[in-house]
Amino acid sequence: MIYKNYPMVSRVVFGRGSFNQLDEILAPNRKGRNAPFIFYVDDVFKGNHWLTSRIMLSYKDKIIYVPTKEEPKTSQIDQMVEDIILEFSELPSGIIGIGGGIVMDIAKAVSLMLTNKGESKDYQGWDLIKNPGVYHVGIPTISGTGAEVSRTTILTGPERKLGINSDYTPFDQVILDPELTKDVPKDQWFYTGMDCFVHCVESLNGTFLNSFSKTYGEKAFELCQEIFLSDHLSTKEAQDKLMMASWHGGMSIAYSQVGVAHALSYGLGYLLGVKHGIGNCIVFDHLEDYYPEGVAMFKKMKEKHGIELPQRICADLDEHQMNTMIDVALSLEPLWENAVGKNWKTKITRDTLLELYKKM
Ligand code: NAD
Ligand code: ZN
């Protein structure tokens, strides 16, 4: 047995208002006047003085607003990297991602691709990155994905939706300031929060489970129950707790794996562009055969918060399209192995997946 030697985020700050420390945290990492800090910021914050006035720009530092209607593509990352190389004479001092999973993943991927040759699609997979990336910082403004702590950056490439998983992917620095999540719309709060809940269920019910994952997973699961089902939390407490649930959920899957919901959700994402959080919800709603208790609890949470999920999004798909989704889902072998066991191929067939997709 070889145990994974797992890299972690090197530094983390937690606290309401900790975002104010950004400048002093970055300053020692500046490499020179011509090596800027590049801030990727979710474009929902464009014109939001409360947030952006706290980003201090010096020398050639730059804020780049990123639209988040669609999840990141490998071609988009390659373009962003090229833009930086063309504009600046030196490598940036740092890449800072301020936003949800999309912006954090973009920051990670750009940081890696600035120091690794070729196209980002060539690095989708496990441990293909050769060189450490540029110093990179993650600052979540919505909680749930665990992207702030994970060893991956999920990209859609020409052939697949798959992460760049590597020891160099995790952030060098994370700033966890729950106050930044105060204006997240309710539906999005639920979808991204449920990403965390699903991480816990898939990790805790997987065959890869071990005490490391279980410890983090149980804590995050407990926090999710409190946040989404109890009535006694203040808004601030709920924000603080969801931010820590996301972190713990991410830590839990780091040392285990996700499962059926994520595999199927990647298929929806690849073919239909359904985003990660809502995609997981659409899939998870139909997984009572795999995760009976988790799904029952999910339905309670959905009802409590009056969330209506889109229905029949696969109703009009043809055979070819269904097959594309099934191919994407089945290619994620570690997820199935975790969910169903080593001999998963004897239990999970294309028909199993077709029946599930038809319900969605
Ligand atoms: P997101 O980044 O898609 O953002 C969702 C929406 O919330 C956007 O419209 C955004 O503008 C808005 N938003 C974010 N913060 C806000 C705020 N403070 N106020 C108002 N609106 C705000 O959402 P997400 O669910 O965090 O991320 C999904 C992405 O993360 C997907 O691309 C997925 O593949 C990726 N992901 C990555 C990992 C990983 O480990 N790297 C894990 C899970 C998901
Ligand atoms: Zn997820």
pLDDT (tens digit, 9 = 90+) per residue, 134-174?
Answer: 999 999 999 999 999 999 999 999 988 889 999 999 999 99
Kindly state the average pLDDT of the residues 186-190. Answer: 98
Closest CA to ligand 1's atom 38 = 147
Q: Which of 148, 164, 181 is the last residue of a domain?
A: 181
How many Å lie between the centroid of ligand 2 and the Cα of residue 276?
7
Instruction: Based on the fold, state whether residues 221 and 169 are members of the same structural domain.
Output: no
Q: What's residue 113's pLDDT?
A: 98
How many Å lie between the centroid of ligand 2 and the Cα of residue 87?
34
pLDDT tens track for 82-91 = 999 999 999 9
- Assess contact for 196 and 143: CB atoms under 8 A: yes
Does some domain include residue 3? no
Instruction: Based on the fold, state whether residues 203 and 126 are members of the same structural domain.
Output: no
In what helix (H) or strand (E) does residue 173 lie, and over which residues does it extend?
strand 173-176
Average pLDDT taken over every residue of the chain = 97
Instruction: Based on the fold, state whether residues 42 and 175 are members of the same structural domain.
Output: yes
Does some domain include residue 75? yes
Is pLDDT at 4 greater than 90 in this prediction?
A: no
| Domain, as residue range, for 211 | 186-358
Q: What's residue 160's pLDDT?
A: 82
Say which ligand is closest to the CA of 191. Answer: 1
Closest CA to ligand 1's atom 25 = 192
- Judged by DSSP in three states, 34 sits in coil
Does some domain include residue 4? no
pLDDT tens track for 288-297 = 999 999 999 9
Kindly state the average pLDDT of the residues 213-224. Answer: 98
Q: In the chain, how many domains are there?
A: 2
- Assess contact for 90 and 35: CB atoms under 8 A: yes
pLDDT tens track for 58-104 = 999 999 999 999 999 999 999 999 999 999 999 999 999 999 999 99
Q: What's residue 107's pLDDT?
A: 98
Residue 243 CB less than 6 A away from ligand 1: no
Instruction: Based on the fold, state whether residues 20 and 139 are members of the same structural domain.
Output: yes
- Assess contact for 6 and 168: CB atoms under 8 A: no
Closest CA to ligand 1's atom 17 = 184
CATH number for the domain that contains residue 165? 3.40.50.1970
Residue 142 CB less than 6 A away from ligand 1: yes
Say which ligand is closest to the CA of 154. Answer: 1
Q: Which of 181, 207, 229 is the last residue of a domain?
A: 181
**Model confidence band, residue 128 (pLDDT cutoffs 50, 70, 90):** very high
Closest CA to ligand 1's atom 23 = 100
Instruction: Based on the fold, state whether residues 136 and 191 are members of the same structural domain.
Output: no
Residue 152 CB less than 6 A away from ligand 1: yes
Closest CA to ligand 1's atom 40 = 147
Q: Which of 139, 158, 181 is the last residue of a domain?
A: 181
Instruction: Based on the fold, state whether residues 167 and 191 are members of the same structural domain.
Output: no
Instruction: Based on the fold, state whether residues 199 and 243 are members of the same structural domain.
Output: yes
Say which ligand is closest to the CA of 41. Answer: 1
DSSP 113-157: HTTS-S-GGGG-EES---S--S-EEEEESS-SS-TTT-S--EEE-
pTM metric for this prediction: 0.97
Instruction: Based on the fold, state whether residues 141 and 232 are members of the same structural domain.
Output: no
CATH number for the domain that contains residue 222? 1.20.1090.10
Does some domain include residue 6? no
Instruction: Based on the fold, state whether residues 30 and 100 are members of the same structural domain.
Output: yes
